[in-house]
Amino acid sequence: MHKSVLVRLIALTVAPILLSIPVAPSWAGVTVPVDTQVPLKLVNTLDSQHLTEGTEVDFTVAADTILDRQVVIRGGTPVTGTVTKVSKPGVYGTSSQVIIGFLTVTAVDNKPIQLQNLKINAASLTKNIAIAAGTSIGAALLLGPIGLVSGVFIHGGWVQVPAGSVITGVTESSANVALE
């Protein structure tokens, strides 16, 4: 027998066997790693002076989140969180803080992806602390112990974030997203 005939016979015998073996389909998706940034646009103005725990806060995803050249979270996707803590402005220039939790964004495959709590405080928080601390130290040098008390009279402000502001959300854990 010729070598080519033998190869053809083997191929005709083995091919149907190989074709009958089930093959797991390859996964067409992207893994969204932990700490992936998701830009969130505030729908309504956020004012810590008028917020209470349990208040819902609405966002939309400000832009597509793209990984491996694939959109995994679409811009415009609605996101709702719940205020879990509101702290009032304090002494020494400490501004109020709002913590928004229970944030979940929907991926392109309609699966939820949990986001970390958002901690929103005044942009000038560090500056306010430095001013208050500087005032207390300066007053202490000039006035002694009475000067330290003067720092208590410098209060921070309430957090006010206008509608349309973009706040960066961050994924809490990794997630597998199937592509469309």
Q: What band does 20 get if pLDDT is binned at 50, 70 and 90?
A: low
Higher pLDDT, 179 or 30: 30
Question: pLDDT band at 91, cuts 50/70/90?
Answer: confident
Q: Retrieve residue 91's tokens.
A: 């002494």
31-122+157-178 is a CATH 2.40.128.260 domain: yes
The strand pairing partners of 166, in sequence order, are 41
Tell me what pLDDT residue 157 has: 83
pLDDT digits (tens, 9 = 90+) for 136-167: 444 444 444 444 433 333 346 888 889 998 99
Statement: residue 116 has pLDDT above 90: yes
29 beta partners: 178
What ranges do the domains of the chain cover?
Answer: 31-122+157-178
pLDDT at 68 over 70: yes
**Half-sphere exposure (Cβ direction) of 73: Cα atoms closer than 13 Å:** 30
Number of H helices and E strands in the chain, helices first, is: 3, 14
Average pLDDT over all residues of the chain? 79
Length of the chain: 180
Selection from 24, 174, 31, 172 nearest residue 102 by Cα: 172
Measured distance CA(131)–CA(77) in Å, rounded: 40
